[in-house]
Amino acid sequence: QVQLVESGGGLVQAGGSLRVSCAASGFFLRSYAMDWFRQAPGKEREFVAAISRSGGRTEYADSVKGRFTISRDDAKNTVDLQMNSLKPEDTAVYYCAADLSLSSTYVSGVYSAMDYWGKGTLVTVFS
């Protein structure tokens, strides 16, 4: 069964750090570019970060650039999002998504391009 499972969400004070992880089962992440999206209460799901199959290319939303870092470990079949200098506006459910790619450098960050989604993990940042 194909599955993406996020973990690591929680409650953190503004300025703090949190690392969320995404573990895949039933398929191998090495064939996929991987993305993180988030959805805040009452808002649409938005792109956060993406990493290519090779790991050599990453893209970030302007709102998180310089604070968040996406990484992947294909041996463990996982992808992580390290979040530093967190702000209350980062509060959201964070979703990982897999985007099947023939190119080692491809990333899209496009919601409709994703092939698989996790169910999300809640990150709450309080001031």
pLDDT in tens, 64-79: 999 999 999 999 999 9
- Determine the pLDDT at residue 125: 98
Flag residues of the chain having pLDDT under 50.
none
- Determine the pLDDT at residue 108: 87
Select from 87, 29, 38 the least CA-distant residue to 61: 38
- Determine the pLDDT at residue 118: 98
| Strands annotated E in the chain | 3-7, 10-13, 18-25, 32-39, 46-51, 58-60, 68-73, 78-83, 92-100, 116-117, 121-126
- Determine the pLDDT at residue 17: 98
- Determine the pLDDT at residue 28: 95
- Determine the pLDDT at residue 121: 98
